[in-house]
Amino acid sequence: MILTDSPKEASFRAELRAWLRAQLDDARRARIESAIVAGDPGPSREWHRQLHDAGYAVRSWPKAYGGQDGALGEDLILFEELALADAPNDIFRVGTRIIGPMLMKLGTQAQKERLLPDTANGTCLWCQGFSEPDAGSDLASLRTRARRAGERFVLNGQKIWNTFGHMADYCLFLVRTGEAGSRHRGLSAFVVPMDTPGITIQPIPQISGRSDFNVLFLDHVEVPESALVGELDEGWRVAVTMLDFERRGLAAIGFDCLRSFRRLHRLAATLRRPDAMCFLDDPVMVRRLAEWDIQVRIAVLNNHRFAAMVPEGEPPGAEASMQKLHATELNKALCGAALELLMEADLTNEAARALLPCVAEDAYGAFGFTVGGGTAQIQRNIIAERVLGLPR
């Protein structure tokens, strides 16, 4: 694996960096983020379409589906440069990094042609309906059902911890079509428009004050047979493929760790303690920053290392769990350290007080990334069994 950019990659990175610098400023970042908090996807959709029209979004996708036939390495350059540019939160990542790649492998040709181009250009915002109140890490125990009714299916049940469903256009639901005790063998996956009659969305208030997650209630939701992804009762294959892609997407949080570290370092350089001492004059803080800098470099290098291990177009293997575990725990530590540092700062300073809501929100929200895509405990089990070969 070569970590330095090739001449082509270096040219792409320089072009992208200049483009991001011209498109983003603090006012636009704030406008997009405040719209997300308010449940308005409009500014994010506009931003994603700009990325797509410029040839950057879903760059490694086939041109037939809205990409550029680029290499996976170019996606990694994009993710890294977005982090360095402190780009807005990507609410389209479920579609572009998880559901879209899954549909390329398992969807019908009609599903690919109908859904992938709109996913690529930001017309279609996705969410997924997997977890239930009694089926989180043990996903095979889910109870939401789909009953065949002629040439249609009728879905009934409840999903929870659905991300951005209140803004989404489509949802990929995993439901039970087999017998109650069939577990993995009796699941099926369906693509469902979120405006389908019978879907009720109930936001979940978070400790950060946001409501990015939702409970979804399905009350006699009718969908055509063409909504089925993969074979009937073979939805576990869809779920595993999506979870593998999700872990790779979450593993790319290594670049978000880079963003979080840069924010933490800026805070340490600009804030003052109540005694007017700069945090960077504290040798303990300097040592902690050096240790975190090393870990962030490891996380970024692991993004490249594990990406190089994945064949083109294939889901990542169990190694993605190693990166997902390391990067999400590291990001949680970095965001928590930023909040800790701010609480030790001179809060009589108005500028410092103004940072508190944003820093606190990042710290509380970072916990969610250690749960999404499989909890840290689940990742440790995967690493033990599938990477280290330890007995169950």
Question: What does each C-alpha distance from 377 to 288, 289, 371, 372, 380 come to in angstroms?
Answer: 26, 27, 9, 12, 5
Q: Which of 251, 253, 241, 256 is nearest to 322 (CA)?
A: 251
For residue 126, the SS3 value is strand
- Report the candidate in 162, 113, 151, 119 with the shortest Cα–Cα distance to residue 228: 151
b/e per residue, 155-180, with b = 16+ CB within 10 A? bbbbbbbbbbbbbbbbbbbbbbbbee
Closest CA to 213 of 36, 65, 28: 36
Give CA–CA dist 344/346, Å, rounded.
7
Cα 272 to the center of its chain, rounded Å:
34
User: Quick one: CA dihedral 237, 243, 244, 246, positive or negative?
Assistant: positive
| Alpha-carbon distances, residue 236 vs 173, 230, 239, 243, 356 (angstroms) | 12, 10, 5, 10, 43
What's the number of CA atoms in the CB half-sphere (13 Å) around residue 377?
3
SS3 222: strand
- Say how many Å lie between the first and final Cα of the chain, rounded: 33
Choice among 246, 319, 329, 361 that is catalytic? 246
Tokens of 211: 């409501």
**Known catalytic residue: 246?**
yes
Beta-bridge partners for 224: 152
Rg (CA), the chain: 22
Q: Please, are residues 157 and 130 in contact by the beta-carbon 8 Å criterion? A: no
**DSSP state, 4?**
S
Just list the catalytic residues: 246
